[in-house]
Each structure stands twice: as structure tokens, then as C-alpha cells.
């Protein structure tokens, strides 16, 4: 059960994830969280660097869908201007939104990666659906109320993984 919280990979930011690296793994699609994964949870728009990253994915035929637990207004206000499909009120870690994103992108599970900043939502949800998961360091040092609660639990889980030598990286925080 505890292994469901263990990501396949850990990176400092989405910018370390390149189209070539994904293609080498047979990945054709990305399911990504929004808040504190792509941008700070209180930032309304994509940064120029994020726009370049998304464009590089598109140019390399890698599909991207944002899957967020946030509300429609927040997610659509971010996603619509940049033309990225999204699912809001995803209820992660439940699997319905992950399965819907895979269906919408017309890809197989084996061709899909989940990117997110939380073990309890993104990684757990991806792993429960047998998807490759990448944990990123949160973009912002602050979080919304419920996320702060999750972070406490996540710190305990990560300490457990370190004690058991189940993770091979250092937390850059």
C-alpha cells in the first residue's frame, strides 16, 4: 500500500522533463496538475517559460491535459488562453479524471505520464491507475489550506521512504 505513494521519478521542475526524454520512454501524453506544478497556486497565467515548454511538447507531438482538483473558473481561466485541454474538480486521487484524460487524448496508459507536486493526489492517483508518475518540487513555498494539511502527511511518507532507502534522490527544498 505505501508503495502507491512512491513516484517513479522526482525532478526539481517540469522544465527538467524534455520531449526527447519522454519520447525515449515511449510517452505520447502528459497528464499534469496545475497549481504548484506548472505555476504557483495563486498565479493566474502561464509564464513565458511554461509557454515555451508546452510549445516544445506540442511540436514533438506530445499531448498535454491539465487535471486539477481546483474549480472550473480557476482551471479554465488558466487553460483556455493557452489552448490546453483540462479536467477540473478531478477528485484526485480517484481514477475517473485520469481515465477520462487518457480517453480524450486517445492514448494508452503505457504512453502516459502523470506530473504533479503532491504524493496524496497526483502520485497516488497516477500509481493507482498504473501510470508512470513524476513528482516535482512545488513551484511556490506556500499552499492553500487543504494542501498544507497534505504536505504534513507527505513529509512523513518521504521520511519513511528515505529511512527504507526506497528513494534515490535528495529533496532540493
Mean pLDDT, the chain, whole residue set: 92
Q: Give the pLDDT of residue 150.
A: 81
Which CATH code for domain 2-163? Answer: 3.40.50.1000
User: In whole angstroms, how far apart are CA 77 and each of 43, 54, 72, 82, 98?
Assistant: 11, 17, 8, 9, 21
If pLDDT is split at 50, 70 and 90, which confidence band does 169 have? low
User: Is the model's pLDDT at 9 over the cut of 70?
Assistant: yes
62 touches 22 (CB < 8 A): yes
pTM for the complete prediction?
A: 0.89
Helices (DSSP H) in 43-173: which residue ranges? 48-59, 72-79, 96-105, 124-128, 145-163
User: Would you kindly state where each structural domain of the chain is located, as residue ranges?
Assistant: 2-163
Instruction: Write the pLDDT tens digit of every residue in 40-83.
Output: 988 989 999 999 999 999 999 999 999 999 999 999 999 999 99
CB within 8 A of 117, min separation 6: which ones?
33, 35, 36, 37, 135, 136, 137, 138, 139
Average pLDDT over residues 15-21: 97
User: Is the model's pLDDT at 123 over the cut of 50?
Assistant: yes
Amino acid at each position: 500500500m505505501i508503495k502507491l505513494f512512491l513516484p517513479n521519478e522526482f525532478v526539481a521542475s517540469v522544465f527538467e522533463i524534455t520531449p526527447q526524454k519522454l519520447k525515449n520512454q515511449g510517452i505520447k501524453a502528459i497528464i499534469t496538475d496545475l497549481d504548484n506544478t506548472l505555476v504557483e497556486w495563486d498565479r493566474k497565467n502561464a509564464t513565458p517559460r511554461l509557454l515555451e515548454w508546452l510549445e516544445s511538447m506540442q511540436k514533438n507531438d506530445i499531448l498535454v491535459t491539465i487535471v486539477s482538483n481546483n474549480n472550473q473558473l480557476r482551471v479554465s481561466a488558466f487553460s483556455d488562453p493557452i489552448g490546453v485541454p483540462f479536467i477540473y474538480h478531478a477528485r484526485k486521487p480517484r481514477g475517473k479524471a485520469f481515465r477520462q484524460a487518457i480517453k480524450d487524448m486517445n492514448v494508452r496508459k503505457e504512453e502516459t505520464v502523470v506530473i504533479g507536486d503532491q504524493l496524496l493526489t497526483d502520485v497516488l492517483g497516477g500509481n493507482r491507475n498504473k501510470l508512470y508518475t513524476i513528482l516535482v518540487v512545488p513551484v511556490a513555498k506556500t499552499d492553500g489550506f487543504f494542501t498544507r494539511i497534505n504536505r504534513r502527511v507527505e513529509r512523513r511518507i518521504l521520511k519513511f521512504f528515505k529511512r527504507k532507502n526506497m528513494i534515490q534522490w535528495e529533496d532540493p527544498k
